Chains A and B, each alone.
Chain A
Amino acid sequence: MEFGIGAYAVLATTIFGIGALGFVVRRNFLVQLMSVELMLNAVNLLFIAFNRIYVEQHGGQSFAFVVIAVAAAEAALGLAIAIAYHRIHRSVETDLADRLRH
């Protein structure tokens, strides 16, 4: 069975939406990090799917590779911050970080 670009676009948008919803609704550092990763993967899917329209060059696929690489770096840094956060709060609930306010 063959799926059209439209189907991929809908799927990617759905995953992106789930990721965004997760980021906004959940208050756990790690879950929020995973939500962002989900959003990035949705973007990758979209890039690769769209590349099927423009088969003569590989802009979309290259973009996806770059996103994957940067996401890895981002995750590494994110986990380091998460560890520092846990050492201070003994928890990864991001709601605990509300000292900075007026």
Chain B
Amino acid sequence: MTALFALAPLVLLLVGGLLIMLVDAFAKERVEVSALVSTLLGASFVVAAGSLLADPNPSGLPAEITRYLAVDATGYFTDVVLTVAALIATLAAGSYLREHELERPEIYLLLLLSTFGAMVLARAADLIVLFIGLETMSLAVYGMIAMRRNNARSIEAATKYFLLGSFAAAIFLFGAALLYGATGGTSIAAIRDAIRGGHAEPALVMLGLVFTLAGFAFKVAAAPFHGWAPDAYEGAMIPVTGFMSVVVKAAAFASLLRVFTGVFGDPLLMHPTTGWPTLVAALALLSMLVGNLGALGQKNIKRILAFSGIAHAGYVLVGFASLHAVPEDATAAILYYFLAYAGGTGLALASLVAFGSKGLEAVDVDDLVGLGKRHPLLALPMAIAMLSLLGIPPTAGFFAKLFLFQAAAQAGGIFAWLALAGVALSVVSGFYYLRIVVALYASEPAEGAVVARPMRSGYVLLAMVFGSALVVKLGVMPGLYLDLALEAGRGLFH
């Protein structure tokens, strides 16, 4: 019973999701599924945040639970990030689907179940559970993208993401099988202990690392495993893009954090020059390069955010590369980054939803021209999001980058140079983030140009207010959240 309470954020979503499904199936009148799902996600968020503040590391839980699902501060923190992002996406969907006459209750349920899968993935303490969480999350996302069955772009995005995602899952599984072969365990703790104890066949462990890392790198869209991301993001509906770019990425990163500090947390494997940190640093650098340079010439905002997502994956990987030197600081920085990135990207995509209306959807940067002059208040969240993603103080993104690069600088050597490269490349990102701000506030549309017309809908406004508050709060008072992230990070190393 205590276990049920301890896992309340997950249980709420699962039970609530099934109930909503039943209610929707049997109700005589149309049910406002979007409101129900948003409420449920909000409740889950509150419970997760409450647990994080009150009792982040509950004890006395049965081993049958904790062997499979970690119940610790890190888990609650990722719950908070994932529910926040899912909530913003759901609220945005509530407006978007109705405005564009695509309303179908299944999407919200898929969103809910996908979030559940993401939370399981982020908490997985066993590779079997990890795989189940990963697939629950991914299958639901494939479904959400393919929901617009007659839209060629959506189906193309679904095709690419599905095929490549299955391919990546198979690669990950192959790695898991090799790790099992090397150690005889499927749980992170068992594999870790076998490697520490020297009972594992080194060649199999190394191959297992290579294949699982490749699988994760695909899910977080790190270069060179990023090819799918711009296509899938562009083809999906805006709220789904928002969901994918934050929830999927954050959950995969959280799981990567558990696996790489657990299974591969051996000091020998984490040796700064011969172990995986240098490799991760190389992936980080490549991702930052590809993401930032790739975004430069794009017109489509979803595509810009896709490349921006690749770049941000690179920044987060900088934190991973520093784990060997300052494990707790780097973990805290990574977790904090999730929150900032969730706020920034979620807010940007919610704003994009709000900027469009039926037949006049905001797609390209040009569609936003002059919007800030006509609707200064409505355009403000988008500007805040861009500044945060760019890392201008005092927004969430500034501190997120500061803490990450600080961790890398402490790791010293090539990692300090990596941090410097990250700072320099984030300068490049000014080109594309600010293009959007300029379009909003400092440009006039050409005569007769078709521009997006904002919709009027409460859901998405709520999402924007919530997201803006988060981004600004994280910037003006980052202390509390960094403390929480530090606390959550310690959960991994207790």
CB of B180 within 8 A of CB of A66, answer no
Q: Is B298 an interface residue (CB 8 A)?
A: yes
Q: Is the interface of B mostly helix, strand, loop or mixed?
A: helix
Please indicate the chain A residues that have their CB under 8 angstroms from the CB of B177 in the complex: 12, 43, 46-47, 50, 60, 63
Contact A59 B185 (CB under 8 A): yes
A100 to B155, CA, bound (A): 11
Bound-state Cα–Cα, A36 to B86, Å: 30
Query: For the complex, what is the distance from the CA of A94 to the CA of B163, rounded to whole Å?
Result: 10
Pick from B139, B163, B185, B231: contact of A101, CB below 8 A. Answer: B231
Mask of B136-161 contacts with A, CB within 8 angstroms, 1/0: 00010011001001101101111110
Are B298 and A59 closer than 8 Å at their CB atoms?
Answer: no
Q: Does A88 contact B (CB under 8 A)?
A: yes
Tell me if B132 counts as interface (CB < 8 A to partner A): yes
Query: Are A97 and B298 in contact, CB atoms less than 8 angstroms apart?
Result: no
Closest to A92 in B: B159
Q: A residues within 8 A CB of B184?
A: 50, 53-54, 57, 59
Contacts of A100 in B (CB 8 A): 153, 156-157, 160, 230-231, 234-235
In the complex, the answer to whether B139 meets A46 with C-beta atoms within 8 Å is no
The answer to whether B155 touches A40, judged by C-beta atoms less than 8 angstroms apart, is no
CA distance A46 to B175 in the complex (A): 10
Closest Cβ of chain B: how far from A44's Cβ, in Å?
A: 8
| Inter-chain contact B174/A77, CB cutoff 8 Å | no
Among B326-379, those with CB < 8 Å from A are none
Partner of B143, one of A57, A70, A77, A85: A77
Contacting pair B158 A67 (CB below 8 A)? no
Asked whether A39 lies within 8 Å of B156 as measured between CB atoms, the reply is no
A-B contact count (CB 8 A): 130
Q: Does A9 contact B (CB under 8 A)?
A: yes
Q: Using a CB-CB cutoff of 8 Å, which residues 26-62 of chain A contact chain B?
A: 29, 32-33, 36, 39-40, 42-43, 46-47, 49-50, 53-54, 57, 59-60, 62
Task: Report whether A43 and B135 are in contact in the complex, using a CB–CB cutoff of 8 Å.
Answer: no
Q: Does A7 contact B (CB under 8 A)?
A: no
Task: List A contacts of B149 (CB < 8 A).
Answer: 84, 87
Cβ of B298 and Cβ of A102 under 8 Å apart? Answer: yes
In contact, A29 and B159 (Cβ under 8 angstroms): yes
Taking the closest CB of chain B, its distance from the CB of A72, in whole angstroms, is 11
Closest A residue to B152 using CB positions: A88
On whether the beta carbons of B174 and A42 are closer than 8 Å, the reply is: yes
Residues of B within 8 A of A47 (CB): 177, 180
Q: A66-96 interface mask toward B, CB cutoff 8 Å, 1 = contact, 0 = none?
A: 1100100110011011101101100000100
Across-interface contacts of A80 in B (CB, < 8 A): 146
Q: Which of B165-173, B416-424, B465-473 contacts A (4 or more CB under 8 A)?
A: B165-173
- Is the beta-carbon distance between B230 and A63 smaller than 8 angstroms? no
Q: CA A32 – CA B169 in complex, angstroms?
A: 14
A59 touches B153 (CB 8 A): no
CB pair B181–A84 under 8 Å, yes or no, is no
A24 to chain B, nearest CB (A): 9
Bound Cα distance A42, B177 (Å): 10
Q: Is B488 an interface residue (CB 8 A)?
A: no
- Residue of B170, B180, B303 ringed by the most chain A CB atoms within 10 A: B170
B255 sits at the interface (CB 8 A): no
Query: Does B162 reach chain A (CB closer than 8 Å)?
Result: yes
Q: Decide if A84 touches B155 in the complex (CB within 8 Å).
A: yes
Q: How far is the CB of A77 from chain B (nearest CB, A)?
A: 6
Pair B181/A36 contact, Cβ less than 8 Å: no
User: Chain B residues near A74 (CB, 8 Å)?
Assistant: 135, 139, 166, 169
The 0/1 profile, CB within 8 Å of A marked 1, for residues 175-194 of chain B is: 01110110011100000000
Chain A positions within 8 Å of B235 at CB level: 100
* Bound Cα distance A62, B184 (Å): 13
Among A19, A54, A78, the residue within 8 A (CB) of B170 is: A19
| Nearest neighbor of A13 in chain B, beta-carbon distance | B174
In the complex, the answer to whether A29 meets B170 with C-beta atoms within 8 Å is no
Instruction: Check B303–A59 contact: CB distance below 8 A.
Output: no
**Assembled-state Cα–Cα distance A43/B149 (Å):** 32
Query: In the complex, which residues of chain B have a beta carbon less than 8 angstroms from the beta carbon of A87?
Result: 149-150
Instruction: List 21 A-B residue pairs with CB atoms under 8 Å apart, sorted by A's residue number.
Output: A23-B167, A32-B163, A36-B170, A43-B170, A43-B176, A43-B177, A46-B174, A50-B177, A50-B181, A57-B184, A60-B186, A62-B186, A77-B162, A78-B162, A78-B166, A85-B159, A97-B159, A98-B156, A99-B156, A100-B156, A100-B235
Interface residues, chain B, with chain A CB atoms under 8 Å away:
127-128, 131-132, 135, 139, 142-143, 146, 149-150, 152-153, 155-160, 162-163, 166-167, 169-171, 173-174, 176-178, 180-181, 184-186, 230-231, 234-235, 297-300, 303
**11 additional contacts (CB under 8 A) given A77-B143, A98-B156:** A23-B163, A33-B163, A46-B181, A47-B177, A63-B186, A74-B139, A78-B166, A97-B159, A102-B297, A102-B299, A102-B300
| Pairs A-B, 8 closest by C-beta atoms | A54-B184, A39-B170, A50-B181, A97-B156, A46-B177, A100-B231, A59-B186, A43-B173
